[in-house]
């Protein structure tokens, strides 16, 4: 037997035995897993349903259309592209569709909970090929919306990102909408982390306030490693008002042929399955449990005297002391508890030696954990940090 199968078996055992608290990780269903490993990996399907560059895709067209329609219904958008390979390419496609190199964009600083693709300077495509201005958070780790409004009014970016990868609070979509409208900027909601919470009805959807939503399909949504781009009614009107043409077509052209060739049809079919699963009543119960379990974990850590940023969603940032985040993540891994080192608001450490860890509840909630188990693991985490 090829050694790779032995390694996969070991990884499977490790995943089942470890306590997985990284907020971006989850467990897919057996149905999603089955589709990912199906014969759809054999297909090449450049183009879009009804407009392929390859013959032999009549069933593939039906599969992609099913994923699109389920996704549109779940997230209440007017148009959806499901071909982007992951979240970063999805955000790049939006920038390619709407802007020219050198245009000004605005997003949350990575160190304050944002994402690399939201304009992180110097090393990312969004920071290198566009002029980037960045907003941050206050001492409590919450977005200062008035400071954002003041900066946007002064700098007048053409596009604003809201959403992040380590932001433990609910986002005020309406306030961001008002800020973007004040300078006639496109507003993009990156909901990669909270897509499942939105689908489950425990977080307000941004669909009425933004022009485009982007998201991965794993994390809280419990789907495959893929992404989608959704265009809202507001987005269509904004593009028309700006004279930018048909936004739906611009997005599709940016994904293909703008950035990539053939779509990963096994992942797209798995998205269709995940969208269907997220539409069921039991998923709403899951999403509610994710939030409740995270809150129990946060309160347990606070009761042990540990500073915690959050939580109103599935994750929190935990202050481990200046520069101790990586050390604590390693110690917790040795205890069978998997988290990731992360910077905290106003961190006095550095990216390589941050002061915090990022902790979340989605994966273990999927495994059936409840409040009691999260309280117990919170005490174990606190013991390691306080030792």
Catalytic residue numbers? 44, 46, 190, 216, 219, 225
Q: What is the C-alpha separation between 88 and 102, in angstroms, rounded?
A: 19
**Cα dist from 119 to 95, 203, 220, 387, whole Å:** 11, 25, 24, 38
> How far is the C-alpha of 78 from the C-alpha of 33, rounded, in Å?
28
Calpha distance 26→15 (Å, rounded): 10
* Residue closest to 265 by CA, chosen among 45, 95, 104, 71: 45
Distance CA 249, CA 252 (A): 5
Q: Which two structure tokens, joined as six digits, stand for 205?
A: 């959807």
DSSP state of 304: T
Give the bridge partners for 358, in sequence order. 317, 340
Question: Which three-class secondary structure state does DSSP give residue 137?
Answer: strand
DSSP class per residue in 143-210 = B-HHHHHHHHHHH--SEEEE--SS--S---HHHHHHHHHHTT-EEEEE-TTTHHHHHTTSS--STTT-
The Cα–Cα gap between 317 and 326 comes to: 13
């Amino acid at each position: 037997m090829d050694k790779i199968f032995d390694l996969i078996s070991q990884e499977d055992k490790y995943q089942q035995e470890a306590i997985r608290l990284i907020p971006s990780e989850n467990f897919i269903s057996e149905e999603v897993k089955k589709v990912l490993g199906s014969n759809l990996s054999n297909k090449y399907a450049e183009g879009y349903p009804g407009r392929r560059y390859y013959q032999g895709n009549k069933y593939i067209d039906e599969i992609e259309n099913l994923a699109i329609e389920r996704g549109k219904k779940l997230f209440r958008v007017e148009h959806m592209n499901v071909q982007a390979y992951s979240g970063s390419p999805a955000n790049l496609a939006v920038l390619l569709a709407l802007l020219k190199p050198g245009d000004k964009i605005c997003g949350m600083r990575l160190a304050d909970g944002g994402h690399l693709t939201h304009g992180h300077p110097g090393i990312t495509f969004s920071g290198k090929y566009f002029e980037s201005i960045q907003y941050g958070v206050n001492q409590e780790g919450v977005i200062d919306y008035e400071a954002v409004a003041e900066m946007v009014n002064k700098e007048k970016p053409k596009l604003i990102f809201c959403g992040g990868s380590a932001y433990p609070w609910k986002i005020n979509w309406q306030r961001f909408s008002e800020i973007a409208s004040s300078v006639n900027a496109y507003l993009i909601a990156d909901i990669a982390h909270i897509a499942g919470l939105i689908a489950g009805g425990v977080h307000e959807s941004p669909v009425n306030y933004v022009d485009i939503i982007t998201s991965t399909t794993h994390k809280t949504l419990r789907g495959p490693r893929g992404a989608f781009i959704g265009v809202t009614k507001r987005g269509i009107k904004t593009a028309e008002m700006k004279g930018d043409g048909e936004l739906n077509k611009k997005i599709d052209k940016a994904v293909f042929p703008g950035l990539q060739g053939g779509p990963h049809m096994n992942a797209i079919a798995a998205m269709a399955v995940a969208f269907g699963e997220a539409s069921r009543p039991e998923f709403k119960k899951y999403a509610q449990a994710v939030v409740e379990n995270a809150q129990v974990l946060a309160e347990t850590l606070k009761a042990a005297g540990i500073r915690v940023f959050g939580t109103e969603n599935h994750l929190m940032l935990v202050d481990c002391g200046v520069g101790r985040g990586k050390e604590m993540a390693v110690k917790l891994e040795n205890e069978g508890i998997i988290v990731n080192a992360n910077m905290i608001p106003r961190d006095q450490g550095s990216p390589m030696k941050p002061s915090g860890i990022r902790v979340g509840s989605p994966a273990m909630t999927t495994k059936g954990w409840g409040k009691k188990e999260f309280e117990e693991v919170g005490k174990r985490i606190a013991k390691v940090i306080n030792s």
